[in-house]
Structure 1
Amino acid sequence: MSTPLNTRPSFPGTIHYINPKVIPESEDEVLISSFNKLVRWIVVCLAIYVAIVGINLIMDGIAGLGFANLSALMEKAQNPLLCLMVGILATFLVQSSTAFTTVTVAAVGGGLLPLEAATALIMGANIGTCFTALLVAFGYVSRQDELPRALAAGLTHWTFNVLSVAILLPLELAFHPLTNTARWLSTTLFGESSPTFSSGTLVAWSTGPLVDAFGTHTIARVIDSPVVVAILAGLIGIAFIAIAVQILTVQLRSLMAFPSQVLLKRSVSPSKSMGAEFGVGLGLTLLTHSSSATTCATVPFAGAGTLSTRSALGVILGANLGTTFTAVAAAFAIPGDLGTMALQTAFVHVLINLIGAIVVLALRPAADFIIWISEVLARKTAKRRALGLLLWLATYLAVPAAFILWLN
Structure 2
Amino acid sequence: MSLNWQEMLFQFFGGLGLFLFSIKYMGDGLQKSAGDRLRDILDRYTTNPMMGVLVGILVTVLIQSSSGTTVITVGLVSAGFMTLRQAIGVIMGANIGTTFTAFIIGFDIGQFAYLVLAIGAFLLFFFKKNSIQNIGQIIFGLGGLFVGLELMSNGMKPLQELPTFIDMALRISENSILGVILGALVTLIIQSSSATIGILQGLYGEGLMPLHGALPILFGDNIGTTLTAVLASIGASVAARRVAAMHVLFNVIGTIIFLLILPQFTLYIEWLAGVAGLEPKMQIAFAHGSFNVVNTMIQLPLIGVWAYVVTKLIPGEDSVIEYKPRSLDLHFIEASPAIAIGQAKEEVLRMGKYSIRGLEETFEYLKTNDKKNAKNVLQYEEAINSLDQKITDYLVKVSAQPLSDTDSTRHHILLENVRDIERIGDHFENIVELIDYKTVNGVQLSEPAINDLSEMFTLTIETVQKAILALDTTNHGLAIDVTKKEELIDQMERTFRKKHIHRLNLGQCSAHSGIVFTDIVSNLERIGDHAVNIAEAILQKH
TM range (shorter): 0.3 to 0.5
Q: TM-score, normalised by structure 2?
A: 0.35
Q: TM-score, normalised by structure 1?
A: 0.46
Higher Rg? 2
